[in-house]
Amino acid sequence: WAEFSAWLDRIGSLDVPVINPVPLLRWNADKRYLLALELAGVPVVPTRFVEAGQIMPALEACGWRDLVVKPTVSGGAWDTLRLKPAEFSARAAELELLARKHTLMLQPYLPEVETDGEWSLVYFGSEFSHAVRKRPKAGDFRVQEKHGGGHERAEPGVELVAQGRAVLAALPGLGFDTCLYARVDGVVSGGRLLLMELEVLEPHHLSFERWQLIDRAPHGPHVEALVHALGEVDERCLVELHRGPA
C-alpha cells in the first residue's frame, strides 16, 4: 500500500493523464469509503471497522451469526476470513495478529451470494455497459476465480441498473465530479441492491479482454459511452474497441 500510495503521489505530481482522477483512486483504495457512501444514502452491506485491540469485542458485539472479516485495503479475498461465533475464541490470536497488520472490516455473510449471486454492474460514465453474476464454488464463500468461483453474463432489470447508477450519483457530493469507469458490486436483498464494493481503481470486468461477456452491437451504448468519456470521436476507436484483442 505504501508503494502504491507513493506511485499515486508521483503520477499526480507529474500530471500524468489517468482515466479516473488520482484523488478518486486514492479514496477508492481503502474500503472505508463505504462509510462515506452509506452516509450519502447508498444502501451498503452492514459494516464495522476495527483496529488492533478492538477485534474480539467487536466480534462479540456485532451479533452476526455468520460473518466475513477482511482488511480495508485488499483485493481478491486476500486475508479474508469467514467466521461463526463458535470459532471466535479458537482464532483470537490469528484475528488479533491480522488486526495489528491492517484496519479490518466486519460484515455479515449474506447467503444471497450463494443463491442469487453477487452482481457486478459495469458503467462507463453513467452509461450502463454490461453485468456479470458471480458465485463461489460449493463449500466456499469467495467468488473470485482463483478461489474456484465462477461468473456468467447476466441481464439485470431496469431497476437494478438504476440502483447501481444511484451509487455513482453519490460521488459528486463526496467531491468526485469525474468517474469515467466503475464496477458496482453487490447483492440483491429484500428487493434492493446492497453495495459490497464500488470499484473504480482496478478495472476487472471493465476491459474488453472477455469480449464474450459484452456481446453487443458494434456501436452499442457501452462502446460509445467509453469513447465519449475518453474524449475520442474517431470512428476507428469504435471499430477497434468492438473488435477486441486478436
pLDDT band at 112 (very low <50, low <70, confident <90, very high): confident
Phi, psi of 76, rounded to the nearest 5 degrees: 65, 30
- Asked if the model's pLDDT at residue 152 lies above 80, the reply is no
Q: How far apart are CA 45 and CA 229, in angstroms?
A: 30
Pull the grid cell for residue 42.
Answer: 447508498
Q: Are strands 181-189 and 118-124 parallel, antiparallel or unpaired?
A: antiparallel
Find residue 135's DSSP bridge partners: 150
Q: Which of 202, 39, 194, 1 is nearest to 107 (CA)?
A: 194
- Asked if the model's pLDDT at residue 142 lies above 70, the reply is no
Q: Which of 78, 210, 99 is nearest to 153 (CA)?
A: 210
Q: How far apart are CA 241 and CA 239, in angstroms?
A: 6
Q: What pLDDT, on the 0 to 100 scale, is given for residue 87?
A: 86
- Asked if the model's pLDDT at residue 167 lies above 90, the reply is yes
**Distance set, CA 151 to CA 148, 206, 224 (Å):** 10, 14, 25
Torsion-angle region of residue 7: left (phi > 0), alpha (psi -120 to 50) or beta? alpha
pTM over the 0.85 mark? no
- Asked if the model's pLDDT at residue 219 lies above 60, the reply is no
Q: Cell 481478491 belongs to which residue?
A: 76
CB 98, CB 153: distance < 8 Å:
no
